[in-house]
Structure 1
Amino acid sequence: MASATTFTKFAHLQFPLADVLKATNNFHPDNIIGRGGLGPAYKGQLRRAGKLVKISALRLDRKHGGRDVEFWTEISALSDLDHPNIVSIIGFCDEKNEKVIITSYAAKGSLKGHLDSPKLTWTQRLKICVGVARALSYLHYDERRGYGVIHLNVNSSTILLDENLEARLSGFKVSIKQSLNRMDHVVLSDPIGTIGYLDPAIETTKGVTHKSDIYSFGVVLFEILCGRKAFIRDEANRFLAPLAKSHYENETLQDIILPALLDQMSPQSLRRYSKTSYFCLKEERAHRPHMLHIVDELEKALNFQPGLEDFLGKDQVVGELENAAHEIPEEGVERSYMDEFAYKHKNAMQPQSMHEIIKNKANLRISFEDVNQATQNFHRNNCIGGGGFGKVYKGNLKDGDGFKTIVAKRLDTKLGQGEQQFLSELQILLEYKHENVIGLIGYCDENNEKIIVFEYAPKGSLDRYLSDVSLTWVERLNICIDVASALYFFHGGVGKQARVIHRDIKSANILLNDGWKAKLADFGLSLISPLTHEIDYIIDHACGTEGYLDPLYREKGFLTLEL
């Protein structure tokens, strides 16, 4: 069963509540070392393999909701990761309504608490940046896992520092796993993360990519340079990102750099650093550098920094900043994810973003005028269904000298929902074609209208025939085989580097042609996941149709192929 498989994977990490209470002195307030979105974190000492180990215990605060999804997402992510600049998971506790995530202890706390400290030197700051960049490069590229991780919450609070000021990236509660050759593809999502660090492209693309982490990291780089937080509520310049970009472009960056750092900087070091930071904040994701490039640039910035940090005058630093502001990005800054990946992995394929896929399918574009005419101005007599996205219409679309019967799914923008489902369905139907999957005829995206045009299934949906005695046993078996074939195709990722999880299998989404040939339809809730990784996805909330939901998925948020 899915439940046994899922929990067995993490069983070796589980600690009794009694051990956690003892380690934290019954969650004593004096042991609180921080608070986050999930709840307070406590320091403590836990006995592990006969030794006392310093730990951080993040205790879920039930006052602010269940947060089970974030709890399991963090455990799932950390259990697969092993990098010196990523916090190590020691275990977890899930007992008596207490949920606790136990990780290695970071003696110096979060980077946020050190931003304005003059004691944190420029060289130390550079080393912290290099450490975080290496962690993100590992998340985005490491081929040993077979999938990439998009962190989605990179900020100065989730960057922890050990006793040697070595950076440890934490906070994986909203992270997403994505197959390596799909890292440039948009993962449909509402805005996720922390104010001041959010990728502005989420608003236009309705989703995230690994470049969303790049933007957030760019904000952190400027926090470290300027010694101030990304967002200060009561200041005129509340957001650091636009302020830093403006000063860089106007060659006045020295006005906002933490004063204590100006006399410590090598000119070449600052040039590399400030230029890299600036390009991380580009509005267009394609113009942001990749982590492999960022690691190289930050390492060079560190290498340019001599051991003595008080040798340089402020005037020389300012001059170097003025020169840097006029430079164009070095070769490689605008390379695609897979170009960058191929830098290390010669056999990588070049994927396209979702918008590029649509753009390159001009032969499938249908004008709104043609769809409008086919459905008789979307006449109510032609409406054959609907949902949160809008309505579905039957129509007759001009096809050469004749007409063909079609189905048009029209997004109703007045409902304020459904656009992500629309885009997800279109993406899947463009890329995944099978005889038992409803066929895509085309799409319309003009005049603020979004419409997907499908082939017409004359017999309608399976739910209409469940009690029909004329539907024979052999015909029912063939329908089952057809649907199983479609799911086998999606789950196996035949000919693809990723698999599809439908998430809304039901008789109403199984359509029938003449001859009872079954076609699986309605992919608005579907997810695309890495092919090379055992799936144990944990998502925002269980979705689907009541009566068809896997109990484990509904109760715990665990999404597997078995659902």
Structure 2
Amino acid sequence: MHHHLPLSGDLGVPSSQTRTLVNTWIIGSICNISEPATSSSVPVTSSSVQGPHPFRLIELSEIRKATENFDESLVIGKGGFGKVYKGNMINGESLLVVAIKRLDSESRQGAAEFETEVKMLSTLRHRNIVSLIGCCIHEQEKILVYEYMSKGSLYDHLHKRGTSLSWPRRLNICLDAGRGLSYLHNHVAVDYGVIHRDFKSENILLHESWTAKVSDFGLSKACPTNMLSDYVSESGKGTFGYMDPNIFRSGKITRKSDVFAFGVLLLEVLCRRRAVSKNLGEQEPQGLVAWFQTKKEENLDHIVDSEIRSEIHRKCLEQFIRLAENCLHDKPEERPNMDMVVTTLELLIFSQEKANTQAGGKTIFSRLVDRLPFPSRGEKSEMIEVRAHFQSPNPTLKEVKFADLKKATKNFSMDMRIPPTYVGRVFLAWVEQNTLAPSKERDGIAIAVKRHIPSAKWLAEKNILGQLAHPNIIKLLGYSNNENENLLVYEYMPNKSFLEFFCTETISWEIRLLIMIGVARALAYLHLKNIIHGGLEPSHILLDEDLSAKLGGFGLATNGPETHVLTEVEGRRGYMDPNYQSNGQLTLKSDIYGFGVMLLKSITGRSFFFLHENQTLVDCATGIHTNRRNVKEIIDPRLEDNYSLQSVSECFSLAVRCVSNNPADRPSSEEVLQNLEQIHALYK
């Protein structure tokens, strides 16, 4: 069923009835919501407190004011669709810089793509997807208002401006763009995803901070996640050079078509060559993929942009090219999904960083000097608990005045207390985004403030977590020292911890699996840096507005050698590695044990101490696996039959491996992640 924008009436100054109709069209067209919207703006998730600006209808007079009546001097882009203006809009009490796309009334791209763009972007919320702030529809005027991306497109920097782009910057841009595509394909909703259909460097926009965001959703299509053939295209729309050859053979557009385009982008970033180009001496324009196939056998170094040849570690180059080739595989089913691509890029970046910083066999993390006073072996001291070997937290971590945080939490009022979403005494507060100074409620951003008695654990969490940056690890924003109390400031997670959410809500199998994949990604990141979490348990897994997992609870974390011998064993019973409990040896595989218990909990819905035939959960699961009994006898009954038995069975086998008594028999975090992502891709 097609949905068309109601173009009659004065939508430049919309009535409440018109707002409701347009909003219902926007939401219903993509989510099949039949009930009329009750608000004049599209509902955003609970994260809208600190997320992008909610979508709204904008009056034409406001557009004219922002663009100084469409002054040509403010034009920052042109295309077949029309013109893009830079403008300033009043947003509450502040001035917001925006990009305003005004569609040419004679444009062949016209209403259909405008309609699609509004449908898609008004409901998408992700840091790597450009935000649509609103739209204006007035007679023949069709205008879209986006967040302003000051650095323009990746295409311009690669091929027009000749901007100097280091290899690490290029890698991070690819990672950002990959995360945006991964979100579209797999994480927009449980029952549907989005195929972009026109993914290219021109549609990757760059923020002032060089964060990359995917844009231009005029050709995008929403499709059910369980539709194997995805979307059948009646016409091969897209951009030549990025289009999947399989589209012309089968007429089918799938998520793997976007993956092909991503592979082209990887080559474009590596070679600094357009997707289609005609160079001196060439008779006809040549596609980048075909050019690469003819050149790669000659000398890999010759295909790499000369600016970055000296920066790329040989192994990293080979892995990057292998990833690009996998994305460009002639058979779509052989291409990786975007979750796998993102994971590969993350590991590749860490590998490059490690190669860059190695000196005398040590990485930068192990070479940082620990200034904390550790006692000698056998000497009793509270400082034995300190496991942080980082010299100091990241310099971007803010030291906040204790008095400011006390004020922001209303003197740590119980009204501001966050229930057991976080472990410990944690309070909600509202602060200015840049300074973390107290702000009026809902004027700034929401944060979580955790109170600590002065201890080595506080130092460990501050020093280790303050150095980490990963989408599946809770972000530490700042800290405060006080004589009798210390504070840590985190990003605010609107949903509960995995433990509380699991106990109070019925969660589908797919969401449980996605949560565990998020935790596995965090572990793979930590272990690549030789960081042992040491306290893996459900209460340390926090959930954002999309129920994506973020790992917290770093008070027991340690970094450096792969094995630590500790004089005091700490952690949550049931999730602690038995070897650690018996001999004090904390290893990377200790984290794998805790992960295995959590995976079993996700499958069974039971706590570790649930007794079945006088056995703990781990003993019971191990017995079922060893005796090859039916795993269905222990699957959470709340799932009913809404799961793939093969998916659950494979996860169950993986969990049993993770909780093996012999640490050597447990898989690595990278293997765990790869297995879970393959299971999700095969059986979702």
Task: Give the shorter-chain TM-score range.
Answer: 0.5 to 0.7
Equivalent residue, structure 2, for 1:246? 294
Please state if 1:78 is matched with 2:121.
yes
Distance 1:273 1:170 in 2: 24
Q: What percent identity do the matched residue pairs reach?
A: 33
The answer as to 2:86 corresponding to 1:43 is: yes
Deviations 1:448-467 (A, max 9, x none): xxxxxxxxxxxxxxxxxxxx
Task: Please identify which structure carries the higher strand content.
Answer: 1
Q: Once the 2 structures are TM-superposed, how far is the Cα of residue 20 of structure 1 from its aligned partner?
A: 0.8
In structure 1, give the amino acid aligned to 2:293.
K
Matched, 1:115 2:158: yes
SS in 1 for 2:70: coil
1:95 is displaced (CA, Å) by 0.9
Does 2:233 match 1:188? yes
1:19 has 2:34 as partner: no
- Cα separation, 2, equivalents of 1:60 and 1:286: 38
Q: Does 1:138 align with 2:183?
A: yes
| Map of 1:262 onto structure 2 | 309
Secondary structure at the residue paired with 1:306?
A: helix
Quote the offset at 1:118 in angstroms: 5.5
Note if contact 1:56-1:105 (Cα within 8 Å) is conserved in structure 2.
yes
CA contact (8 A) 1:91 1:101 kept: yes
Go from structure 1 to structure 2 and tell me whether the alpha carbon gap of 1:89 and 1:17 turns closer, same or farther (over 3 Å shift).
same
The partner residue of 1:210 within 249, 255, 274 is 255
Give the letter for the 1:16 counterpart: E
TM-score for both structures, normalised by structure 1: 0.53
| Cα distance, 1:301 vs structure 2 | 1.5
> Which residue pairs with 1:301 in the alignment?
348
Partner of 1:278: 325
- What amino acid sits opposite 1:276 in the alignment? L
2:301 maps to amino acid: Q
- Kindly indicate whether residue 169 of structure 2 is the aligned counterpart of residue 124 of structure 1: yes
Q: Is structure 2 residue 133 aligned with structure 1 residue 90?
A: yes
Q: What SS does structure 2 have at the residue aligned with 1:168?
A: strand
Residue in structure 1 matched with residue 575 of structure 2 by the alignment = none
Aligned to 2:521: none
2:305 & 2:87 partners in 1: Cα distance? 35
Change (3 A) 1:306 1:60: same
Distance change >3 Å, CA 232–CA 310, structure 1 → 2: farther
| CA 253–30 in structure 1, closer or farther in 2 if over 3 Å, else same | farther
Verify the 8 A CA contact 2:275 2:288 in the aligned structure 1: yes
Q: Is the 8 A contact 2:224 2:230 kept in 1?
A: no
Correspondence for 2:490: none
List gaps (5 residues or longer) in structure 2: 7-17, 27-39, 42-55, 360-509, 518-641, 645-684
1:56 equivalenced with 2:99 (yes/no): yes
Asked if the contact 1:115/1:224 (under 8 Å) is kept, the reply is yes
How many angstroms apart in 2 are the aligned matches of 1:120 and 1:310?
20
How far is the alpha carbon of 1:86 from its aligned partner? 0.4
Is the Cα–Cα contact under 8 Å of residues 107 and 162 in structure 1 kept in the other structure?
Answer: yes
CA distance in 1, matches of 2:62, 2:228: 40
Quote the offset at 1:242 in angstroms.
1.2
Residues in 2 aligned to 1:342 and 1:293: alpha-carbon distance in whole angstroms? 18
Contact 1:264 1:311 in 2 (8 A): no
Distance of aligned partners of 1:146 and 1:51 in 2 relative to their CA distance in 1, 3 Å threshold: farther
In structure 1, runs of 5+ residues without a counterpart are: 313-339, 348-494, 498-563
Root mean square deviation of aligned Cα: 3.1
> 8 Å contact 2:190–2:225 — kept in the other structure?
no
Alpha-carbon deviation of 1:241? 1.4
Deviation at 1:98, TM superposition (A): 1.1
Residues of 1 paired with 2:236 and 2:118: CA distance? 22
Q: Is the aligned partner of 1:163 residue 2:203?
A: no
Quote the offset at 1:298 in angstroms: 0.8
Counterpart Cα distance in 1 of 2:353 and 2:121: 36
Report the 3-state secondary structure (helix = DSSP H, G, I; strand = E; otherwise coil) of the residue aligned with 1:262.
coil
Aligned partner of 2:346: which letter? E
Q: What is the SS of the residue equivalent to 1:149?
A: strand
**3-state DSSP class of the match of 2:326?**
helix
Deviation string 1:124-146 (CA, Å, 9 cap, x unpaired) is 00000000111111111116453
After superposition, what is the alpha-carbon deviation per residue over 1:207-257, rounded to whole angstroms, capped at 9, x for unaligned?
Answer: 200111011111111111011211125662521111123333x15232221
Indicate how the Cα distance of structure 1 residues 19 and 201 shifts in structure 2: closer, same or farther if over 3 A, else same: same
Q: Does the 8 Å contact 2:80/2:109 carry over to 1?
A: no
Aligned to 1:30: 73
SS of the equivalent of 1:63 reads: coil
Task: Return the letter of the residue paired with 1:242.
Answer: A
Partner SS for 2:156: helix
Aligned pair partner of 1:7 in 9, 15, 22: 22
Paired residue for 1:344?
A: 514
Deviations 1:511-542 (A, max 9, x none): xxxxxxxxxxxxxxxxxxxxxxxxxxxxxxxx
Query: What count of residue pairs does the alignment treat as equivalent?
Result: 323
Corresponding residue of 1:515: none
Tell me which amino acid in the other structure corresponds to 2:129.
Answer: I
SS of structure 1 residue aligned to 2:266: helix
Q: 1:175 aligns with which of 194, 197, 220?
A: 220
The answer to whether the Cα contact below 8 Å between 1:270 and 1:301 also exists between their aligned partners in 2 is: no
User: 1:133, 1:291 within 8 Å by CA — same for their partners in 2?
Assistant: yes
Inter-CA distance 257–60: structure 2 relative to 1 (3 Å threshold): same
Q: Which amino acid aligns with 1:36?
A: G
* TM-score, L = length of structure 2: 0.44
Q: 1:118 to 1:58 in 2, by over 3 A?
A: closer
Code of the aligned partner of 1:185: D
